[in-house]
Chain A
Amino acid sequence: MSLVKRLWIAVGLIILASILAAGIINIRSAQHYLENDIEVKNLDTATALAISISQSATDAMTVELLVNSQFDLGHYQRIDYLAPDGKPVVRRERNAHPPSAPVWFMRLFPIEPEAGVAVIQSGWKQLGSIRLYSDPSFAYDSLWQSTWELVELFLLGGAGVGLLGMVYIRRELRPLQRVVEQAEALAERRYLEIQPPRTREFRLIIEAMNRLTHKTKSLLSDESARLDKLKTEHEVDPATGFMVREVFLRNAEDEIEREDTDEQGLLLQVHIANLAELNREIGRQQADRLIGLLAQQLRQALADRPRVFCGRLSASDFGILLPGLTDGTHLLQPLHASILQAENGQLLHLGYGAARYRPQSDMHELLSACDQSLTAATADGPVLPVPESVMSTRSATDWQRILQVALHQHEFRLALYPVRGRNNTELPTEALARIHSSVCGETLVAGAFLPWARRQGLVGQVDLEILAQALASVDRQGHDICINLGYESVRDAAQIDRIVEVLAQHKSQAGRLYLDVAEDIAFEHPESFRRFCERILPLGCKVGVEHLDHHVGHLARLHGLGLQYVKLSRALVKDVGQELAVQTLLRGLCTLAHTMGMQVIAEGIAHKEEAALLFELGFDGVAGAAVPPGPRPTP
């Protein structure tokens, strides 16, 4: 039974007890008052009667006559006339009026007034005494009636007080709800800090939990910062802040292979032709400074691109992967100009090379293609060799048609990839979107159609379509399923409303649905992501962050959102077998994520040995080629 109900019962009992006590006291005092009143009246009447008889009567006969006449004309119930020696002479009595009060009531609150007695004399001679009785039934009636009025009044008052009590209890217990929420959040390893309420006990609890939360938070932040440092030391070139060669290659390969990003793009190479001369002429330190300046200009020029990867390929070469871009000329012109304008910028002799990539491109072939196309910049500006197009492109109109038809004809399909936990247990199946297009007769992967859908503002609709497919799949196959949502679905309030609506209609399936959100959205738009989580999580869905790589060091920022898991990018886990530093990083990461109540899943694991090592480091699940699709293990 809830505390509120218990308190309610207590309040009810207290009210009842006080009503009973007050009622009984009230009735008792009324009873005594009535009894007393009748006694006094009896006495006064008897005295008055005796005085008047004493003035006129001379013998017992006259007294009897006077008593009789008094009785016949008056309202007495009974008058006795007693001789001086106490023997009754006359007794006149009327039948008692039947009271309307019930017998038990009269037994409970008896009204038994004493008779009024007064002596009669004539001169010095005593003539005896009279006893006078009143009928108490009218008093009973009055008491009974006033008792009813009292009961009515008390019930009304009790109901009023009870109502007030309920409002008061509700108000006072409101902080308790927050205490419970915070405690539950703690149990789920979400760390909420709550404004302490005024009630002392609640305040103490909440303050204690706040302290715990605060401590855990700072612990998480410290650990996060340590991981960030570890990652930076391992992956970042100190002079430029770009990725070191291996990390760049890993990321670039991952980007090219991934289905859900742009299918094609540009690999740009920036070459410093005169690095050896620079080192000689201005000294190594100055040369490094100049290279840092170059990197800064590059970063500024690329700042407004949504996805870009920069790496230092060698002392004199920089690689820049630009997904979705096919011609870098308009990007390069201002970049080159700004480098020349910078201090000592003209000292650099720069050359540029480029190569286009498509899904199956090999990174090493791309690099050598770039290298071969290197062309030195002239005085007029950079010359960017235009690499030949490597694949046939559809026009925007074609894509519009493909997407419209796919949305109308429901041509979206989910490609399912199993995810396995320790001991080969089953984790939510990863579902990637495809279009079985009737327009071009091909199966198109997300990386191909999503950029176009984005350009045409259709991602929201596509996400809803995929969501509907996923819910249907959950319903049909009864497994947990995991889909990706684009940033449009996370940032647009109207789109969130639509998603909430769909999920609310499928309450029973929603609990088996896992929604992946890419790290860029989660970390670069934290407020939107928080709002998204607050709306979606109450519906039973799980939310996680996928492709986690660059923001690994900021993992602690995800606390308090109630996320179920993080999926680590393939780029981050790829070299786990070779590099001890990576293992240290990943082990720390797993510990941190577990402390925050999140599972850790590795993406794109190719080998069984790799998977085994990851589980050893503390991972909860792996996805990728190491997990063959096919019959699922029996539970």
Chain B
Amino acid sequence: MIEGCLSRVGRGARVGALGLAVLAGVAATNLDRLQQLALSRHGTEVANQIGEWRAMLPPPQAPNELEKLERVNNFFNRRIRWVDDAALWQQDDYWATLLETMAKGAGDCEDFAIAKYVSLLLAGVQESKLRLTYVRRQPHPDTPPEAHMILAYYADPGGEPLILDNLDADIKPASRRPDLTPVYSFNATHLWFRGSQATASDPTARISRWRDVLARLRAEFTL
């Protein structure tokens, strides 16, 4: 529960709603339970990996956010292989939760971005600083552009973001990534309707991929 409360730093106003959600028996952040879930669903190995992930997670009170970014970015870029959704999930496009990605040991760009996004929230980074961003990627003018997703970190709302990308091991400011053109960005800040109600139990949440994965993350005690 400590992690749960801390992960809500950016959403103090919602703490009351969270309390209600806990009373109502709806899942809230609880990494011990996440680990138990990993054990019961995927076995010891995945549970151990979750343990390692938890060990890696920087404490929320740590002052240096850049270092948090580094640790999280490196953890996932090193541990998770890039595999196409069609090969991994037999689906055109599937947004996996952190646990699913860890269990597979693989994922595509959204899965990286989601895992990093969730991990940074747990590490105490304010949600308003994080944006999942659809980008157009064209490394060379001769190659055809491709759709891609990265996690952007805005240290300052009006400033230039840092890019956490699974295709580039280093965290770079946006201006040093000419291959990327942003299309649209979003985060979960305004999706927390009525506490938890609008997540797992709300059928409309399933229509949107983003809200669907948020609901599943919550069900797995990760959010």
Contacts and interface: CB of A to CB of B under 8 A. Distances in A.
B157 A124 contact: no
B45 interface: no
B63 interface: no
Given A40-B204, A114-B193, A114-B194, A125 B158 contact: yes
A85 B198 CA distance: 26
A153 to B, nearest CB: 26
Contact of A123 (B154, B182, B198, B202): B182
For the complex, would chain B's binding face be called helix, strand, loop or mixed by DSSP majority? Answer: loop
Contacts of A123: 181-182
Interface string B102-123: 0000000000000000000000
A224 B157 CA distance: 115
Nearest to A122: B182
B20 interface: no
Interface residues of A, number: 23
B193 A118 contact: no
B194 A119 contact: no
B170 interface: no
Contact of A121 (B182, B191, B193, B198): B182
Nearest to A129: B190
Nearest to A128: B157
B157 A84 contact: yes
Contacts of A40: 204, 207
B93 interface: no
Interface residues of B, number: 25
B184 A51 contact: yes
B160 A124 contact: yes
B89 interface: no
Given A54-B184, A124-B152, A124-B160, A117 B204 contact: no
A37 B59 CA distance: 39
A39 B190 CA distance: 11
B198 A119 contact: no
A118 to B, nearest CB: 7
A126 B193 CA distance: 24
**Most central of A114, A124, A126, A129 by chain B CB within 10 Å:** A124
B185 interface: yes
A121 B185 contact: yes
A48 to B, nearest CB: 11
Nearest to A40: B204
B182 A124 contact: yes
Nearest to B190: A117
Interface in B173-220: 174-175, 181-187, 189-191, 193-194, 198, 202, 204, 207
B194 A85 contact: no
Nearest to B156: A84
Given A39-B204, A85-B158, A124-B161, 12 more contacts: A36-B202, A40-B204, A43-B191, A51-B184, A85-B157, A117-B189, A117-B190, A123-B182, A124-B152, A124-B174, A125-B160, A126-B157
Interface of A: 36-37, 39-40, 43, 47, 50-51, 54, 84-85, 114-119, 121, 123-126, 129
List the 5 shortest-distance A-B pairs measured between CB atoms, nearest first: A117-B190, A84-B157, A124-B174, A114-B193, A40-B204
